[in-house]
């Protein structure tokens, strides 16, 4: 089934090395989408509409400021 190991780029890469057919996203995509900030940036670059947000971890005060700015 599709789950924990199947979402890991290192697992998919090891399958390739061992000659096992991995059924799922390719290693490059697993790496990209394993990093939510990079995934968000890639989506924006591809023209996918995304909700307002940030591409990195933030402090509590930064989060509070962000939510104040979008509250309207």
* Count: domains in the chain: 1
25 touches 18 (CB < 8 A): no
The pLDDT value given to residue 36: 86
Q: Note the pLDDT of residue 52.
A: 82
Structural domain for 46, as ranges = 5-71
Q: What is the CATH number of the domain that holds 47?
A: 3.40.50.20
Contact between 40 and 53 under an 8 Å Cβ cutoff? The reply is yes
* Count of CB atoms situated within 10 Å of the CB of 38: 13
Q: Are 42 and 32 in contact (CB under 8 A)?
A: yes
- The pLDDT confidence band at residue 72, using thresholds 50, 70 and 90, is low
Confidence bin at 3 (pLDDT 50/70/90) = low
Which residues are CB-contacts of 66 (< 8 A; sequence separation ≥ 6)?
53, 54, 58
Q: What is the pLDDT of residues 12-57, one digit of tens each?
A: 999 999 999 999 999 999 999 888 888 999 999 999 999 887 777 8
């Amino acid at each position: 089934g599709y789950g924990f190991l199947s979402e890991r780029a290192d697992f998919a890469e090891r399958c390739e090395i061992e000659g096992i057919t991995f059924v799922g996203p390719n290693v490059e995509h697993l790496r990209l989408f394993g990093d939510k900030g990079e995934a968000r940036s890639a989506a924006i670059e591809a023209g996918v509409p995304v909700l307002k947000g940030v591409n990195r971890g933030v402090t509590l005060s930064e989060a509070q400021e962000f939510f104040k700015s979008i509250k309207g």
